[in-house]
Structure 1
Amino acid sequence: MKNLLVKIAATALISFGLVAQTFAAEVKTYDDPYKMIEAVADQTFRRISADQPLIQKDLEHLRVIVNEELVPYIDSRYAAFRVIGNYIKQTKPEERDAFVVAFKDYMVATYAGALTQYKNQKVIFEPAKAVGNQNIVTIKTRVIDPGKPDINIEFKLRRAKDAQNWQVFDMVAEGISLLDSKRAELGNLIRQQGLASVTALLVEKSKAPITAPLQGNDAKN
């Protein structure tokens, strides 16, 4: 099951990514979640194609692309707090802040590796719908890879109170929530070892070199 989640996550990242924390630099905002998903995905694909010489020379460049093209449009703090869950009441503000940064960097590294799988797959987005006063919406997409089964992916976006722009906080690939999978993976560790210990673990994991996800028999634990 763990290997299945990794493969689905890698495929899902092809069309966007679950990383977060906005840059200080000016970033274009969107009051239409459907336009945001399409615009950011298109720009990311173009960037990956244009930067292939740099990527082939050094896979670490994918970390740059993730940070510059995807990170500004993800709500990392909200996602990180969801991972902490009810244990958040037992943590200090500085511990939570440190975890948010570590979680973001960990996901950047994870999805930079997944982006090595991008090979010009086609992504179909569902038609836009009126969102009205909703503050959470789900947008359905389909990743088409010739010779392989289509992958159904749903992006969950959130509009914070009194905000106009939308940010992604979760993806559901073939019925599996990536946020829920990270909560399952890290939640028990947080309760057993404490938030500071898990933060340190994520910091170390995020320092690992960017590599392509293992496939087939190589992916067995």
Structure 2
Amino acid sequence: MKNLLVKIAATALISLGLIAQASAAEVKTYNDPYKMIEAVADQAFRRIANDQPVIEKDVEHLRVIVNEELVPYIDSRYAAFRVIGNYIKQTKEEDRDAFVVAFKDYMVATYAGALTQYKNQKVIFEPARAVGNQNIITIKTRVIDPGKPDINIEFKLRRAKDSENWQVFDMVAEGISLLDSKRAELGNMIRQQGLASVTALLVEKSKAPITAPMQGNNAKN
């Protein structure tokens, strides 16, 4: 199951790309979710390609890229709260805030490892549709990797109340939601061990060196 989740993260990141080159102080916002996703795919791989000499010397640089280019466009708090689920009523605010940070860093490490799989894949986007008053939408994409079956990826985006800008909060690869999978993985642990304990676990996991996802017979569950 863990290896499947890593593959989901890898293919989703390949489709999402990462997002336009901008410092945290110059993050570009989007009130058109379709333009946002297309900007991601169009500009993101440029950063990866340009930074290849650095990445080849130190793969940990992928963590920097994810933090600088992807994190500003992910609704990390909303996603983290979805993972906590109904147990959130039994938690303290400071514990929730700590979990949000730990969960974000944990996903950054996961995504950085997934980006080691980048091999210049092509992404096809569905035509833009009218959004209207919707606050949550799904945008479908298809990842084309020569010699391999196409991969269908859906991005779930959310527009927060009183905001015109969109952020990604979930990615679904071939019908499997990364967020739902993390809820299944961490939800029981949160209920059994408590939020603070799981937060500490994620902090330790996020410190592990960045490595490429294991595949085939070498993968471990």
CA distance in 2, matches of 1:93, 1:50: 41
> Equivalents in 2 of 1:8, 1:109: separation in Å?
14
- Partners of 2:102 and 2:199 within 8 A in 1: yes
Contact 1:102 1:203 in 2 (8 A): yes
Deviations 1:44-68 (A, max 9, x none): 2110011111111111000011011
**Following TM superposition, by how much is the alpha carbon of 1:13 offset from its aligned partner in structure 2, in angstroms?**
1.5
Deviation at 1:220, TM superposition (A): 2.8
CA distance in 2, matches of 1:74, 1:120: 23
**Per-residue deviation at 1:160?**
0.3
Secondary structure, counterpart of 2:185 in structure 1: helix
The 5 A counterparts of 1:65-104 are 65-104=65-104
Report the aligned-residue RMSD. 2.3
Tell whether the 8 Å contact from 1:20 to 1:72 is kept in structure 2 after alignment: no
| Whole-Å separation in 2 of the counterparts to 1:21 and 1:101 | 22
4+ residue segments displaced more than 6 Å: 17-23
Given that residues 18 and 69 in structure 2 are in contact (C-alpha distance below 8 angstroms), is that contact kept between their aligned partners in structure 1?
A: no
The 1-side partners of 2:18 and 2:194 are apart by: 24
Secondary structure at the aligned position of 1:140 is classed as strand
User: Cα 1:77–1:92, aligned 2, differ >3 Å: closer, same or farther?
Assistant: same
Residues 35-86 of structure 1 show CA distances to partners (whole Å, capped at 9, x for unaligned) of 0011122222110011111111111000011011111001000000000000
Identical amino acids, percent of aligned pairs: 91
- Shift in Å at residue 93 of structure 1? 0.3
Per the TM alignment, residue 12 of structure 1 is displaced from its structure 2 partner at its CA by 1.5
In the alignment, what sits opposite 1:119? Answer: 119
Displacement after TM superposition at 1:8 (Å): 2.5
> What SS does the corresponding residue of 1:25 show, helix, strand or coil?
helix
Structure-1-length-normalised TM-score: 0.95
Q: For the structure 1 residues 23 and 195, does the alpha-carbon distance in structure 2 shift closer, same or farther, using more than 3 Å as the test?
A: farther
Kept after mapping to 1: 8 A contact 2:113/2:212: yes
Count of residues paired in the alignment:
221
1:19–1:37: structure 2 CA closer, same or farther, 3 Å change rule? closer
After superposition, where does 1:47-62 map in structure 2 within 5 Å? 47-62=47-62
From the superposition, tell whether residues 21 and 134 of structure 1 become closer, same or farther in structure 2 (CA, over 3 Å).
farther
- 3-state SS of 2:160 partner: coil
Matched-pair contact (CA < 8 Å) for 1:20–1:75:
no
Which whole-Å deviations, capped at 9, do the CAs of 1:76-128 have from their partners, x for residues lacking one? 00000000000000000000000000000000001000000001000111111
Residues 21 and 72 in structure 1, CA contact (< 8 A), matched pair in contact too: no
Partner SS for 1:167: strand
Specify every segment of 5 or more residues in structure 1 that has no aligned partner in the other structure, as ranges: none
Counterparts of 1:139-158 in structure 2 under 5 Å?
139-158=139-158
* The 10-residue stretch of structure 1 (192-201 or 22-31) with the greater mean CA deviation from structure 2: 22-31
Q: TM-score scaled to structure 2, two decimals? A: 0.95
CA contact (8 A) 1:125 1:142 kept: yes
